[in-house]
Amino acid sequence: MRITCVGGGPAGLYFSVLAKLADPANEVTVLERNPKGVTWGWGVVFWDDLLDDLFRYDPVSAERIWESARKWDEYEVRATGKPVTHLAGYGFSLGRHRLLEILAERAAELGVNVSYSDELSDLAALPPADLVVACDGARSRVREAHAGHFGAEVEVAANKYIWLGTPHVFDTFTFGFERTEAGWIWYHAYPFDDTTSTFIVECQPSTWAALGFDTLDGRAGSARLQEIFADHLHGAPLIDQRAEIGGTGWLNFRRVTAQRWDHGNVVLMGDAAHTTHFAIGSGTKLAMQDAMALADAVAGASGEGLPVALERYEHRRKAAMAPLQKAARASSAWFERLPEYADLPAKRFSYALSDRRGEYPAWRYLLHMSTQSPLPRTMLRWTLSARRWSRARRRPVTAGPMITNTA
């Protein structure tokens, strides 16, 4: 089968790997507009569920992701006027740059043709293919070219956010909240390698304008944020990638949905099909899980035909994603209402933050309150850490790749 992926992000590169693993005779090309090694964004977080899937589908790239990932324990919550509190849990983070490097290297080993600095501007210019995978991100040109058919809708969230990096290496995933004269402003930060952390800042639009971000350019805006979060950054700078090219990275989150994901031999995948608010850190995971589901569907297509296989993929993914999309909405809505919670005492505030999806049973509150003091906190941390390593040991590092023929 001849397959063209438009977009060499996590979805496109991972699908190209799986398509080659499913059948080395597949001719797979990835068109990526950026030069090799160039991408936007900083580190992303993920959890055991993605690692379990990655190890089942391609243990080779999974092992490299595991080796490169930063492993962190606990969440810290820091807010003006409140003592530091902690949330139980652990996770992983990895620079987007490193993730793409691993996937591109794996794709190349398997014989995928990744064509860099190759921007698709006209669909008519696509090389002949049996399957075209549109994995060209949230502003997908392929989706827009058939906008009426796909029925895409974009909902723009109220809050302002900016995705920054910093050389300050946070100890762990940290939520920080600062009260300013113009209202609350906060960040989600986590280390993703030995020298860099992701630092995502968010605030209500009225706070954003009152703090002057509507008129400051990228550099001046970062300097202003550095002042506001000086106590958290220990003198380290904040880096806005957009400032390098004279702009600023402030945005409103755009929630993309599409009624249909396939059109003839063209199928949407990853952010081109759906976006998920960064408040639950899952967009990359969902994009890579789309790639797994599409690879399964395509492997079964010879029996049932491509259109049926693509429908099967869409239904499987929409059903699997529904609970997470609901959680993402609840989570982003909580941050939009943040000032309502900000005056709660420290422990209750951090519990409200952790239960922002509103799904926790009552015992979680008791556990949270009782594990804020050092000894129970350390014991819980050790227990969770043991769980992390025991789950890691159970992963099928030596097993072959798993592409399921779903026909």
Ligand X SMILES: Cc1cc2nc3c(=O)[nH]c(=O)nc-3n(C[C@H](O)[C@H](O)[C@H](O)COP(=O)(O)OP(=O)(O)OC[C@H]3O[C@@H](n4cnc5c(N)ncnc54)[C@H](O)[C@@H]3O)c2cc1C
User: What residue ranges bind ligand X (CB under 6 A)?
Assistant: 6-12, 31-34, 41, 44-46, 119-120, 135-137, 141, 163, 200, 270-271, 278, 281-285, 287
Contact predicate 274/257, CB 8 Å = yes
Nearest to 318 by CA among 399, 230, 257, 384: 257
What minimum distance in Å lies between the beta carbon of 196 and ligand X? 14
Single out the residue of 138, 185, 136, 188 nearest to residue 166, CA to CA. 188
* Strand blocks (E) in 55-172: 70-79, 85-95, 113-115, 131-134, 152-166
Question: What is the per-residue burial (b if ≥16 Cβ within 10 Å, else e) of 200-209?
Answer: bbbbbeebbe
Residue number with CB closer to ligand X (33 or 395): 33
Nearer Cβ to ligand X (12/380)? 12
Least spacing, CB of residue 325 vs ligand X, in Å = 12
Nearer to ligand X, 257 or 372 (CB): 257
| Least distance between ligand X and beta carbon 367 (Å) | 25
CB of 282 to ligand X, least distance (A): 5
The contacts of residue 377 (CB under 8 Å, 6+ apart) are: 86, 371
CA angle in degrees (0–180, nearest 5) for 179-372-94: 70
Token match 């109220």: residue? Answer: 158
Pairing of strands 131-134, 43-46: unpaired
Give whichever of 176 and 281 is closer to ligand X, judged by the CB atom: 281
Closer Cβ to ligand X, 4 or 85, answer by number: 4
Q: CB 72 → ligand X: shortest distance, Å?
A: 12
Nearer to ligand X, 12 or 176 (CB): 12
For residues 282 and 350, which CB has a smaller minimum distance to ligand X in the complex? Answer: 282
Determine whether 314 is exposed, middle or buried from the number of CB atoms within 10 Å of its CB (0-12, 13-18, 19+): buried
For residue 236, the minimal CB distance to ligand X (Å) is 19
Q: How far apart are the first and last CA of the chain?
A: 17
Q: Which residues contact 357 (CB under 8 A, 6 or more apart)?
A: 280, 327, 330, 331, 334
Q: How far is the CB of 157 from ligand X (least distance, A)?
A: 11
Min dist CB 200 to ligand X, Å, is 5
Measured from the CB atom, is 218 or 371 closer to ligand X? 218
Q: Which residue type occupies 118?
A: D
CA distances from 125 to 36, 120, 265, 312 (A): 21, 7, 15, 28
For the record, the structure tokens of 143 come out as: 């989706």
Question: Could you tell me the two tokens for 7?
Answer: 């977009």
